[in-house]
Amino acid sequence: MSSSSRFGPLIATMLVTLGCALFASLFLAICWNELESRLDALCASKNWAECAAAVAGDFTLRWPFVATARALPGVAQGAAQRAEEEAPAVVLQNYFLELAGRRAEASQLASPAAVALIVDRAKFYEYQWHFAHLSEAYVRCAVSLYRKRAKAALASVKLDKQAAAESLEALAKGLRHLAELYQRHGKYLIAEKALKECTDVATQGFALADRGSSERFRAELLVDYGAHIKILNDLGRTPEAEHESKLLLDQ
């Protein structure tokens, strides 16, 4: 028997398998794109209740892409329940339900890992898939969560000033990212408000920072002031920009 006759069926099987795998990958990519396009359209229309229901379609926020305590052996039930409550998909659903007025503001703080993943998804949808409204909704959710963490940290500032400063720093970074997103899509008035809040928050954080991190806080604060001054000038609000410049010189 020739070698070609021996390997012929094997090659044919491999080609069929490869073709099926490529077809399945293409089908999944199309389905996911449709799901995220729908969620993006819902965010654009501010249909928050539908957004909450559609979050389930974002499988990148769930296991196996996101490890949860329930997937790990030997974890206590209470810890597993808390981890599930802080899972990014659950956090997002709660946020959209709050916007829809169907849920009171959640009292629990989402874990830093959950917030970081939501920010990462916002950047992914902005740069890779170009879903502007979906990216905006996700980063607004992250900013809302940062506000909660900063508020909780400030409530116990006497116990840990540095923790409060770092929470404020995270909030300032979230606001900065939100302002940059608004600017990229021509929403300059909202971007200016976000940058104004960013400088206020960063100033608070700088005041609370210890010696070891004060230089980092100061450098970030100067960047925030510079960005705010630039957008004020771009909007033709020169007197406000000049006043902000004086504040910057005093830093």
Same domain assignment for residues 93 and 176: no
Residue type for position 135: S
Q: For 151-177, how does the pLDDT look when each residue is reduced to its tens digit (9 = 90+)?
A: 999 999 989 999 999 999 999 999 999
Same domain assignment for residues 29 and 125: yes
In the 3-class helix/strand/coil scheme, how is the chain assigned residue by residue?
CCHHHHHHHHHHHHHHHHHHHHHHHHHHHHHHHHHHHHHHHHHHCCCHHHHHHHHHHCHHHCCCCCCCHHHCCCCCHHHHHHHHHCCHHHHHHHHHHHHCCCCCCCCCCCCHHHHHHHHHHHHHHHHCCCCHHHHHHHHHHHHHHHHHHHHHHHHCCCCCHHHHHHHHHHHHHHHHHHHHHHHHCCCHHHHHHHHHHHHHHHHHHHHHCCHHHHHHHHHHHHHHHHHHHHHHHHCCCHHHHHHHHHHHHHC
Chain CA centroid to CA 170, Å: 12
**By residue range, what is the domain housing residue 172?**
156-251
Q: Is residue 146 part of a domain?
A: no
Residues of the chain with pLDDT under 70: 1-7, 65-86, 106-108, 251
- In the chain, the number of structural domains is 2
pLDDT of residue 84: 52
pTM: 0.82
pLDDT of residue 71: 40
Q: What CATH number has the domain bearing residue 189?
A: 1.20.58
Same domain assignment for residues 204 and 96: no
pLDDT of residue 86: 67
